[in-house]
Amino acid sequence: MPDAPEISMRPHTSPARRDVEPFSDRSDLSFPSAAYRRVLTQLDRFARDTNATILLEGDSGTGKTTLARYVHARSPRANGPFQQVVLSTLDDTLSGSELFGHVIGAYTDARQSRTGQFASANGGTLFLDEIGKTSLAVQCKLLHVVESGEFRPVGSDRDMRVDVRLVVATNISLDRAVERGAFLPDLNARLSAFRVRVPSLRERRADIPLLAQQSLRAHARRCGYGVVPTIHSELMIALQRADWPNNLRQLDATMHRLLVDADGAPELTLAHCEDENLDLHRYTERARPLTAERIADAIASEGSVSAAARLLKVDRTTIHRHQRRTDCAMRPTEDSH
């Protein structure tokens, strides 16, 4: 699509990001979990098509913003701007100006023109977060842009066309929102062609050691610590076993707290988890015996005995021994016939 026509508008100031994600979006990192590697492989393919609108579906805190930036960095648009809007923060009145801009006189107090997010992202990527929580009125405006590639600034008498790739994200099912009448079927159809489900942290436990160290490095740098502490193996096991209902956001907050509580110690241990908000003791190996069910879950999650052994912090022979013991216990004896 051609560049947007030149119009005089005040530069747009992006709203502050709600949180700073500490986890790297560098493409040269190799994540151990097969689930996350599949996501990155899929996004690598989609990123090459600069006109593909990508939908990221996943629980809150799973790192969808990082993946949107990953798409931008891996695409031919990498040298262009990356803009982000949290749609759930916009009401119907402000959405038009925020997304599409306005001209002088569009409102009573509109003494200056304003460039909207679509124009600010011209030549690059616009990330629309929490699209599932928008009103039908906002959805109608977005559907028009997605279908036509054009929009009209509030108060203007001419349409604009910009060259923007959209990445949208939601932590609710758009299909179910359509069934409830809360989401436009046509917009859902437009967004679903390049849909990617982002796994929860519970589905990628093998990545937790890497993610925990990334978070520690980021917070140590911001807090002025000269040395990034290591993580004791028993604590790492607990981190990999924890539930993490709030996913990466919760893991990051936990690592930040552990770093502060350690107060410069060279190694983080379970001794730094005495606060009731950091109770990781119940997830240690001593608290959770190795059972056939745990082994089966680990193999199903990781895809192989070797990967499961690494996750469980045991040798492959230990897993094989448990499997043989379980197999023998399940075989019928002569007395059972």
pLDDT in tens, 200-254: 999 999 999 999 999 999 999 998 888 899 999 989 998 998 889 999 999 999 9
Ramachandran category for residue 269: left, alpha or beta (phi over 0 → left; psi -120 to 50 → alpha): beta
pLDDT in tens, 88-132: 988 887 787 888 876 654 555 655 667 789 989 999 999 999 999
Q: What is the pLDDT of residue 166?
A: 96
Q: What is the pLDDT of residue 302?
A: 79
Backbone torsions φ then ψ of 278, nearest 5 degrees = -125, 40
pLDDT in tens, 322-331: 888 777 655 5
User: Which carries the bigger pLDDT value, residue 178 or residue 161?
Assistant: 178
**3-state DSSP of the chain:** CCCCCCCCCECCCCCCCCCCCCCCCCCCCCCCCHHHHHHHHHHHHHHHCCCCCEEEECCCCCCHHHHHHHHHHHCCCCCCCEEEEEHHHCCHHHHHHHHHCECCCCCCCCCCCECCHHHHCCCCEEEEECHHHCCHHHHHHHHHHHHHCEECCECCCCCEECCCEEEEEECCCHHHHHHCCCCCHHHHHHHCCEEEECCCHHHHHHHHHHHHHHHHHHHHHHHCCCCCCEECHHHHHHHHHCCCCCHHHHHHHHHHHHHHHHCCCCEECHHHCCCHHHCCHHHCCCCCCCCHHHHHHHHHHHCCHHHHHHHHCCCHHHHHHHHHHHHHHHCCCHHHC
Q: What is the pLDDT of residue 281?
A: 65
Domain 202-283 belongs in CATH node 1.10.8.60: yes
Q: What is the pLDDT of residue 4?
A: 38
pTM of this structure = 0.75
- Please determine, for residue 74, whether its predicted confidence score (pLDDT) is greater than 90: yes
pLDDT average, residue stretch 29-55: 92
Q: What is the pLDDT of residue 113?
A: 66
Amino acid type, 121 = A
The pLDDT mean for the chain works out to: 82
- Please determine, for residue 143, whether its predicted confidence score (pLDDT) is greater than 70: yes
Give the domain ranges of the chain. 34-199, 202-283, 292-331
What CATH superfamily is the domain 34-199? Answer: P-loop containing nucleotide triphosphate hydrolases (3.40.50.300)
31 pLDDT band (50/70/90 cuts)? confident
- C-alpha count within 13 angstroms, C-beta hemisphere, residue 120: 23
| Nearest Cα residue to 218 out of 265, 256, 261, 257 | 256
- C-alpha count within 13 angstroms, C-beta hemisphere, residue 3: 6
Q: What is the pLDDT of residue 13?
A: 39
